[in-house]
């Protein structure tokens, strides 16, 4: 292939729970690097409608093309009660043939592939196309360091970690030590499947030609230096490290029309914004208590709701791939009708930065 006289074309592949980071990375590449970008979006079977709206919104800016791959049915691979971290690469593996076909059908062949850290199973497609391949860690450099070091910690600890088994912080060469209670959920008391997937992905990441990480040199110089030092974490990372941050969501992804219309009707500084993030989880009992508290307080609110976990505390398991139409089933019966007009329940994700910045007059 000959690309010397053409603009570089980068293909980005999202994981099913991390579409926004890839869209924002795409914006940055187009805006600051003057490259052509095509984003491929994977999704769970139950979230296809939500993803379609996101794709339509992302394409409105006309910065890049967004291709929605067929929703992946992983019901035969992951049980409904185990829709944790292991479900993300499962969706990617099921979507791999569709991604391979779609990328081969592009009018302009890509000159590089960038996959989200939970989509590393598709790195081999870049090898087949004989183009460079990169992994994007949408979190910060310290989390990347921990992620890459998990196989070694596992070897030293002999299996899954429990905060009551380990009292001393775990040492990350050249980085701030990590307390047992601060380990990512899949490393703690979760299903073995989630834990093994974390280890497996950590061993695949170094096979990339480079690792993009959402940070910048001045913010985490010590951690970045450790990741590049062969005597510290460089021997684990192996691939070159490229800080590309800060990459933050500006709220262009997802529909803001309903939120905007609703917020316009609220008095200044009258709305509470409630969100626990994609990895923050509540039990059904906690969600019920929160719902009753909001209802009885008569407080105006926006509540970003994700499905409940089966347990709470360390080792709790965030769930992915739920059907947004089931949101009301997680809440107290009649909650949404009784709080209609005073509160707004948003399934899965909301443009938080846009709400906090552009709509600050209403939100507090």
SS3 letters across 325-348: HHHHHHCCCCHHHHCECCEEEEEC
Q: In the chain, what percentage of residues exceed pLDDT 70?
A: 78
pLDDT at 96: 97
| Domain residue spans of the chain | 9-243, 257-357
Residue 324's pLDDT band (cuts 50, 70, 90): low
With contact defined as beta carbons under 8 Å apart, do 317 and 194 qualify? Answer: yes
- Helices 19-33/48-59 angle, 10° precision: 10
Architecture of domain 257-357: 3-Layer(aba) Sandwich (3.40)
User: Is-contact 331 303, C-beta < 8 A?
Assistant: no
Most confident of the following: 71-85, 154-168, 253-267 = 71-85
Residue 177 makes CB contacts below 8 A (sequence gap 6+) with 169, 170, 171
pLDDT at 167 over 60: yes
Q: Over 50: is that where the pLDDT of 252 sits?
A: no
Sign of CA dihedral 37, 322, 274, 318: negative
78 pLDDT exceeds 60? Answer: yes
pLDDT recorded at residue 254: 43
Choose which CATH entry (3.40.50.2000, 3.40.50.1360, 1.10.580.10, 3.30.70.980) describes domain 9-243: 3.40.50.2000
More confident residue, 327 or 232: 232
Mean pLDDT of the chain: 83
Q: Which range among 15-19, 236-240, 286-290 has the greatest average pLDDT? A: 236-240
Question: Which of 352, 364, 196 minimizes the C-alpha distance to 272?
Answer: 364
| 204 or 357, which is more confident | 204
At 279, list the tokens: 């990895």
Peptide bond before residue 7 is cis, with ω within 30 degrees of 0: no
Confidence of residue 311 (pLDDT cuts 50, 70, 90): very low
Checking if the pLDDT of 210 tops 80, the result is yes
C-alpha distances in angstroms, 131 versus 8, 61, 99, 124, 208? 11, 28, 15, 10, 11
Q: Return the percentage of the chain with pLDDT > 90, whole number.
A: 48
**pLDDT classification of 316: cutoffs 50, 70, 90:** very low
Element (H, E) at 37: strand 36-41
Q: Where residue 326 falls among pLDDT bands split at 50, 70, 90?
A: low
Same fold, 9-243 and 257-357: yes
The answer to whether residue 255 scores a pLDDT higher than 90 is no
- The confidence score (pLDDT) of residue 278 equals 64
Q: Output the CA torsion sign for 276, 279, 284, 286.
A: negative
Q: What pLDDT, on a 0 to 100 scale, did the predictor assign at position 19?
A: 84
pLDDT at 256 over 70: no
pTM to 2 decimal places: 0.78
């Amino acid at each position: 292939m000959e690309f010397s006289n053409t603009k570089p074309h980068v293909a980005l592949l999202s994981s099913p729970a991390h579409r926004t980071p890839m869209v924002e990375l795409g914006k940055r590449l187009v805006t600051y690097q003057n490259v052509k970008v095509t984003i491929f979006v994977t999704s769970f079977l139950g979230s296809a409608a939500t993803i379609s709206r996101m794709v339509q919104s992302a394409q409105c800016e006309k910065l890049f093309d967004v291709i929605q791959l067929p929703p992946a049915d992983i019901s035969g691979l992951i049980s409904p009660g185990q829709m944790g971290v292991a479900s993300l690469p499962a969706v990617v593996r099921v979507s791999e043939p569709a991604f391979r076909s779609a990328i081969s059908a592009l009018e302009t062949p890509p000159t590089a592939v960038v996959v989200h850290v939970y989509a590393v199973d598709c790195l081999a497609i870049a090898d087949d196309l004989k183009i460079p391949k990169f992994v994007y860690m949408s979190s910060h450099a310290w989390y990347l360091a921990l992620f890459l070091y998990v196989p070694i910690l596992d070897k030293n600890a002999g299996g899954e970690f429990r905060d009551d088994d380990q009292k001393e912080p775990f040492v990350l060469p050249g980085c701030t030590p990590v307390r047992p209670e601060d380990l990512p959920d899949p490393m703690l008391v979760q299903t073995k499947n989630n834990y093994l997937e974390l280890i497996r992905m950590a061993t695949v990441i170094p096979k990339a030609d480079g690792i993009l990480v959402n940070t910048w040199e001045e913010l985490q110089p010590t951690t970045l230096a450790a990741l590049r030092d062969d005597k510290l974490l460089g021997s684990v990372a192996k691939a070159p490290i490229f800080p590309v941050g800060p990459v933050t969501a500006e709220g262009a992804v997802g529909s803001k029309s309903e939120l905007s219309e609703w917020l316009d009707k609220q008095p200044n500084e009258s709305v509470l914004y409630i969100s626990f993030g994609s990895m923050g989880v509540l039990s059904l009992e906690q969600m019920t208590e929160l719902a009753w508290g909001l209802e009885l307080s008569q407080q105006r609110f926006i509540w970003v709701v994700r499905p409940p976990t089966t347990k709470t505390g360390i080792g709790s398991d965030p769930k992915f791939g739920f059907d947004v139409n089931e949101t009301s089933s997680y809440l107290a019966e009649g909650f949404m009708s009784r709080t209609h007009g005073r509160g707004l329940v948003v399934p899965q994700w909301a443009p938080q930065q846009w709400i906090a910045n552009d709509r600050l007059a209403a939100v507090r």
